Structure 1
Amino acid sequence: MNRTALVTGANRGIGKAIAEGLAAEGLNVVLVGRDGATLGELVLSLHRQHRVEARSMMMDVADPVSIRQGLAKLARNQVPIDVLVNNAGILPDGDLLTMPWDDVEASTRVNALGPLQLMRELMPGMAARGYGRVVNVSSGWGSLNGLGPSAYGITKAFLNAITIKAAREAGRGVLVNAMCPGWVRTDMGGVGADRTPEEGADTALFLATLPEGGPSGRIFRDRRPIPWDE
């Protein structure tokens, strides 16, 4: 039986590399993002290259209504999600105490609350079926020992806390972990970063395909667990 993975922010960068990697592993994929044209092109590419079932879904992870509507469409089409990769993220400029409040709120919704809502909606079904993998794409900037810039570091710390708590409540057969991709050459990371999107995606692929009895409630970098405060 082919598993199905849902990847947010799948239209470019690390998310695209994760979707391509999962398809190469034989998983069906649901590509979530806000650029329908780019997602459609990737769907066709995955069909051609890997012969998996791929579909695109327009969804704004900052909008609870958009999330509910997207998941309702999957339910109507009888598409159960076995693997959730919360990859979508934003990095607004500015200091936490002076940046526009809208940017603080948007960061919280995209980087932490959207992932949490998807987990709350999808993890009960995973537990009922006895299998699930949740991967939260976090950052070393979410470490409480050295928070990164502005709202980004705070919201990634929030996502880390969500990962720990959700792993404890996950239910039978469901593993929940976070990962740090490193500094990756994406629109967010910039051209000077030292890793390709494929290198940044590698640990997410490892966690998304963990065997039964694998680790849960941890954060990983380069496929190895690291302390939450590193």
Structure 2
Amino acid sequence: MSEHTTTQRIALITGANKGIGRGAAEQLAAQGTTVLIGARDPRRGEEAATSLRAAGGDAHAITLDVTDPATVQAAAQQIDQRFGRLDILINNAGITGSGQVDPNEAYDQLPSTVELDIVRKVFETNVFGVITTTNAMLPLLRRSPAARIVNVASHAASTTLLSDPDGPFAGLLPSAAYTPSKAALTALTVQYANELRKDGMLVNAVAPGYVDTDSNNHTGFLTVAQGAAVLVRFATLGADGPTAGFFSEDGPLPW
């Protein structure tokens, strides 16, 4: 049986021990939401949850690797046993597939020279991992009176923006892995939204912007709190909120 009241929202955020996911966890906890910190590393997950509890939040670590279905299923069972349902799923876990440790590492995603193993690895986390996690959590989300799913996208997912030779992203190097993975994620978001619309679930893809995180070697100009704010807004939409959309802080993004 659930140990929680029916009024307190319960949110699972994947990859929430650091970066934007951690920022979203902090903001949701500050609003009174019970936050489940999804993390591959149990120690890092517990450190994040302990920190949120020290700040007055209700936070719990959940060991979960989106590329390992066994851990995802175990996490769903753990949530079911302890909380009985889920109100919010933020699919935040993601990888760029390039240069996350050494900024001088040779860029390896040019379509003409990319190794397929890199493409597979990025899609495994950024696309297949979202399907694995969402499907495992859907039975719990169906028990919520107002379930919300937020898929963390990127401005790079906008084919319209990236195909403009004079646009703001004209300087980005072509990518056969990360950029197509995020475009696939936005397309997948629409499909989930269409399937779940009749159940009252709102499913959206949200681009947090260029946030200062490990994944870009801290070259981003937005703070984690700024990037997380738009995720939290879409995770807590009212019943009249949008679904099947692709948004940034500034509003709808072109596909």
**Do they fold alike, i.e. is TM over 0.5?**
yes
5 Å-filtered alignment, 1:1-230, equals 1-52=7-58, 54-93=59-98, 94=108, 95-145=110-160, 146=162, 149-170=175-196, 171-222=198-249, 224-228=251-255
Alpha-carbon deviation of 1:191?
A: 2.5
Contact preservation (8 Å) 1:130, 1:172: no
How far apart are the structure 2 equivalents of 1:124 and 1:75? 9
SS in 2 for 1:89: coil
Structure 1 residues without counterparts, runs of 5 or longer: none
Matching residue's letter, 2:190: I
- Identify if the C-alpha distance between structure 1 residues 71 and 47 changes in structure 2 by more than 3 Å, giving closer, same or farther: same
Alpha-carbon deviation of 1:113?
A: 1.1
Contact preservation (8 Å) 2:86, 2:144: no
Residues 37-81 of structure 1: CA deviation (Å, up to 9, x unaligned): 2221221122222342x1111211112222122212222334411
Matching residue's letter, 1:162: L
Equivalenced residues, count? 227
How far apart are the structure 2 equivalents of 1:70 and 1:97? 39
- Identify if the C-alpha distance between structure 1 residues 29 and 20 changes in structure 2 by more than 3 Å, giving closer, same or farther: same
Alpha-carbon deviation of 1:223?
A: 5.3
Further displaced range: 2-11 or 43-52? 43-52
Structure 2 residues without counterparts, runs of 5 or longer: 1-6, 99-107, 164-173
How far apart are the structure 1 equivalents of 2:28 and 2:148? 12
How far apart are the structure 2 equivalents of 1:65 and 1:125? 17
SS in 1 for 2:76: helix
Contact preservation (8 Å) 1:11, 1:31: yes
Give RMSD over aligned pairs.
1.7
SS in 1 for 2:142: helix
Further displaced range: 62-71 or 18-27? 62-71
Moved over 4 A (4+): none
Contact preservation (8 Å) 1:14, 1:200: yes
- Identify if the C-alpha distance between structure 1 residues 62 and 207 changes in structure 2 by more than 3 Å, giving closer, same or farther: same
How far apart are the structure 1 equivalents of 2:113 and 2:73? 33
Further displaced range: 141-150 or 22-31? 141-150
